[in-house]
Amino acid sequence: MTSNFKNTVKRLMLFSIFTLFSISAGAASGMFWKAESASANTIYLFGTIHTDDNRVTDFSPAVISAIKSSDAFMMETLAPKDPSVLMMPVGSLKDMLTEAELEKVYELTEFHVMHRNAALRMKPWLLAAIFDVPRPITPFAQDNLLMAQAEDFGKEIIGIESTAEHFGVMDSISMDEQITMLREVLKRTPDAKERDYERLVQAYLKGDSEKLALLNAEITGNSMQKDLWERMRVKLLDERNALMAERILEAAKTKKLFVGVGASHLAGQAGLLAMLKNAGFKLTPVKLKPVK
């Protein structure tokens, strides 16, 4: 494996889809919650946004204290030991895109500091998610830094999903549909990506889940056919939420947990907050320092 390919994998180790947030109306307010139950250990649930923007990586003392007091840190997935989970089983984008589209892929590959050969073999839906971010993805995203903090405190690190589950979640979407998703992203201008990114970050900083929901429907849902978006939503949110809740609740039987997952997974009737409440947990929002 070349060093460039290794660097690409490193940057994608804990990558989760950045732009997908909860689409449920009336989402609960707040990104950090304490869940308590008489029959299980305390769970701290923190909604993350996958960027290294220092506006979201300057963690509140309440977050650091919660990590320190926990027995284990849980996140969506750990680093893939086998990079093949990121790749198409067969084929290359060279055989699927026009010359003009390939040139755009090469341009964005360079921008995101990826190896060209790796990008050409990557699952198109995953490549689309990476290319839709207006800044290069680095190992210093918010969730990675939370994990590093937990490691510094000597906490057990647990992946809620296996890497195969995490990066295979969209494999049921046809290759034609994945290519369509990628083509739509290739058409987006840097200014449009930056504008949408800033709107999402501002909503996140305000803990405004309902606003995130509306933005997601506008940015992501409107960029593809309605039936494809609905199938993606079910795969990425509903089905994964059920699996994650089951595993978090099982771990909480023996450990006090700090759980960091994408903000998409918190709110709504099928979200983790609702599932914890239905499991008998009392939920309390944890106050964070105000946004300047």
- Nearest C-alpha neighbor of 12 from the set 76, 71, 74, 99: 76
How much is the pLDDT for 119?
96
- pLDDT tens figures, 125-172: 999 989 999 998 888 999 999 999 999 999 999 999 998 888 888 888
Please state the separation of Cα 125 from the chain's center in Å: 14
Contact 241, 10 (CB under 8 A): no
What residues does each domain of the chain span?
3-32+45-271+279-285
Edge to edge, the sheet with strand 40-48 lists 156-159, 72-75, 257-262, 40-48, 32-37, 282-285
How much is the pLDDT for 279?
97
How much is the pLDDT for 175?
94
Question: What mean pLDDT, rounded, does the chain reach?
Answer: 85
How much is the pLDDT for 9?
43
Nearest-angstrom CA–CA distance, 252 and 254: 5
Q: Record the pTM.
A: 0.85
> For residue 120, how many C-alpha atoms fall within 13 Å in the half-sphere facing its CB?
17
Q: Tell which wins on pLDDT, 169 or 279.
A: 279
